[in-house]
Every structure is written in C-alpha cells, then in structure tokens.
Structure 1
Amino acid sequence: MRFWTVNPSARNKNQVWVVTLNGRKLNMQSTIPILKIHLVPIDSTNLETYLTVGTRSYREHYLHLWENEDPTPYISHGLTKEVVQRELEDRNNLHFLINHDTDTVGILKLVKDCGIDEIPKEEALKAEKIYFLQEHSGKGFGKQVLQYIEDFARSIRKKTVWLDTMQKGNPILFYQKNGYTIKRESEVVLPRAKPSEKAMWILTKNL
C-alpha cells in the first residue's frame, strides 16, 4: 500500500516572538511541534474505514444543514459503498484516508479533471471532500492537506484548484487565509437541505 507523506513547509515549523528589553526589540525563535500527516489511497481493504470516518465527520459538522438534522440525502449521494466503489473505477477520482500516526483523522476526495465555468477541465482540479473528525479539527491538518492538494495539482500541470464551501461558518475564513478567493455563489442542490443553510461559495486558487 502506498503512503503519501505531507511535510509542513519550513516556514510553518517555527514561530518568532518579538520581545522588548530596555527599549530594544529582540527576536526569539520558538520551535512548535508539527503533527505530520500521510495520505493513504483507498482500495477494497480500507474502503469501510473511509466510509465510517467520512460519515462520522460529516455528521459531526453538518447536521444543521438538513431538515430534522438528517443528512441522509448527502450520505446516500456520496458516502455509500456502492457510490464510492463506482467512483474508484474512474481514475479521474482519487480518494484518501488522512492519517496521523496510526489514527485516521479524516478523508479526502479529489477530482483530477474538473472544470468550472470558463476554466477547462484540463486546467482545473477539484477538492470535493475534505472532512476531519471533530476531535482532530484545529490541529493544523487542514493546512497540510491543502499543501498536498496544491503540490499534486502542480505536478499534473493544473493551473487552478477549486472547491465549494458553505457561506456560513468558519471554513470560508480558513480557505481565504490560505489564498483561496470567492469566484461566485452556489448552493446545495440535494433535497431536504434547509433553505436558510443552502448558500455556498465556489472558491478558486491559481497556482
């Protein structure tokens, strides 16, 4: 089984503190431990883990989007064994476990050739699913995954990475902080999504 290791860039490994001593500014560098992740491609041996972690992480973060807090329309659309097995037969789709040490902390799905509006599929890669279990959110894993996605996109000669995110909530701020910009509005099109929660943004980043 292949493992794709994501190493944080050097600029993220250290933090510089500016301290004033008798009117003089001193730079003091403090090393911050970085939790490294690796990505494990999905096959028949780990498909159940992908589905379990994906479903659990989605339920932990997105129940508020759905009538009666029932995300069945989304789970049925993208996180069943039949759906993912079919997607795995199409080499345009890439699915991964996001692991830290021996723990699976989330899942990732990429669509290699996926255009948006005027951007042709030959130039664009879509990050379709980036989900983390709630207990592993806020640990810096998301930034590492974005780094992997962008490096991979460059390696296959893509010019743009794009994704969609909810208009409400913190993810939009995270993506903007990491260089993604709003392209246009979108919305959840599956049945039984709450009208007040359906609004989404399509975000892009030029590489």
Structure 2
Amino acid sequence: MNINFISVTTENLTRYINVGVQSYKEHYLHLWKNSDPTPFINAFLTKEPIYNALRDPLQLLYIITTDGTDLGILNVTLNAKEGFFLSPNNLLINKIYLLKAYSASGIGTKALEFVNNLAQTHQKELVWLYAMKKGKPLQFYKKHGYQIVQEAFIELPHVLEKEKEMWLMAKKV
C-alpha cells in the first residue's frame, strides 16, 4: 500500500476535519462523559483551530491517504514550548489518528517513519508524545522505541476521571 502524507491547506482542511472527527470518534468515545467528545472536537477538529494551526509555521498538519482514500490525520509541532520538553530541538506528535478500518495495517508505522524523517529534516534531537496509559497505542509506541519519561494527565473538561492518566513518551532521533 502506497501511503501519502498530504499537507493540509485551506482547500483541503474539510477533508482533514472529516477524517479526523471520524477516526477520533471510532477510537476515543470511551474517554468522555456520555460518550460525547464535543469538547475535544470543538477545541481541535473544527475550522477555527485548524485555520489557526495553518497560520502557525511550527504546526504541520497532514492527511494520510492511499490511492485517493483518506485513512487518517497527522499533526506535529516543531519546537514545542509546552509540557516537559522546552528545548527548540524537539518535535511533538499531537495526533496520529487512523480510521478503525486501517488500524493495525502498518500505516501507523509508516506515520512514525514519516515523523522521524520530518524530525531529521528539521534537525530535531527528540520526538515526544502523550499516550494513554491504557490501550494498544502504548505498546505500539514502545515497540517503535519510545520510552516512558513521566506521568501526564488529560487536562480537558468532561474526560472521565478513570481515563485521564497518560504517559509522556520520547525517542531520540
């Protein structure tokens, strides 16, 4: 399968939003009170926050595709100035969301390879992310060399208390 990472622009941001919302709902409804992810979607997967991200040269957004089919989204931040790593020599993975039909198909591995190449291109020393303490993503990231650095917590309203625990994970490039 030939996987492509298409940069998000104002012309294709609706595609990014649609596949992002669908993939998020397919995987993460269990995090939310009443299975309602509206706070997350409004904060990160609507036109206004996407337009703001597109104006920020440190934000890189991609639609993951193959043969004209949208499979998921990828969002990274160069030189993240929040959280644990305040160095300008890092890259933060904000989102790798894949439609459920494409989970466990090797696309996530391709996305991490793409991220690693981005980090090298931008001369970054470290890639980091937040992963839920429960579930398959944690094992996926460990398998790809990411190590647990410290505990973290989801800070969004309406997330179920039992689902807030996360790990901050990192990997040297």
TM-score computed with the length of structure 1 as normaliser: 0.81
User: What pairs with 1:172-183 in structure 2 (closer than 5 Å)?
Assistant: 172-183=138-149
The match for 1:127 is: 93
Q: Which runs of 5+ in 2 are unaligned?
A: none
Residue 140 (str. 1) matches residue 97 (str. 2): no
Greater share of residues in helix: 2
Structure with the greater alpha carbon radius of gyration: 1
User: What pairs with 1:144-155 in structure 2 (closer than 5 Å)?
Assistant: 144-155=110-121
Q: 1:162 aligns with which of 128, 138, 155?
A: 128
Q: 1:91 aligns with which of 54, 57, 71?
A: 57
| In 2, Cα distance between equivalents of 1:92 and 1:133 | 26
TM-score computed with the length of structure 2 as normaliser: 0.97
Matched letter for residue 54 of structure 2:
L
User: What pairs with 1:39-58 in structure 2 (closer than 5 Å)?
Assistant: 39-58=5-24
1:113 is displaced (CA, Å) by 1.1
1:72 is displaced (CA, Å) by 0.7
| In 2, Cα distance between equivalents of 1:180 and 1:36 | 25
Matched letter for residue 59 of structure 2:
N
1:152 is displaced (CA, Å) by 1.1
1:36 is displaced (CA, Å) by 2.3
1:122 is displaced (CA, Å) by 1.4
1:44 is displaced (CA, Å) by 1.4
Matched letter for residue 177 of structure 1:
K
Matched letter for residue 82 of structure 1:
E
1:121 is displaced (CA, Å) by 3.1
The match for 2:25 is: 59
Q: 1:191 aligns with which of 127, 147, 157?
A: 157
The match for 1:82 is: 48
Number of residue pairs matched by the alignment: 172
Matched letter for residue 87 of structure 1:
A
Q: Choose between structure 1 and 2 for higher RCO, CA contacts under 8 A separated by at least 6 residues.
A: 2
1:112 is displaced (CA, Å) by 0.9
Greater share of residues in strand: 1
Q: Following superposition, which runs of at least 4 residues in structure 1 exceed 3 angstroms of deviation?
A: none
Q: Which runs of 5+ in 1 are unaligned?
A: 1-34
| Deviation digits for residues 168-198 of structure 1 (CA, Å, limit 9, x no counterpart) | 1010000000000001111111111000111
| In 1, Cα distance between equivalents of 2:19 and 2:116 | 23
The match for 1:32 is: none
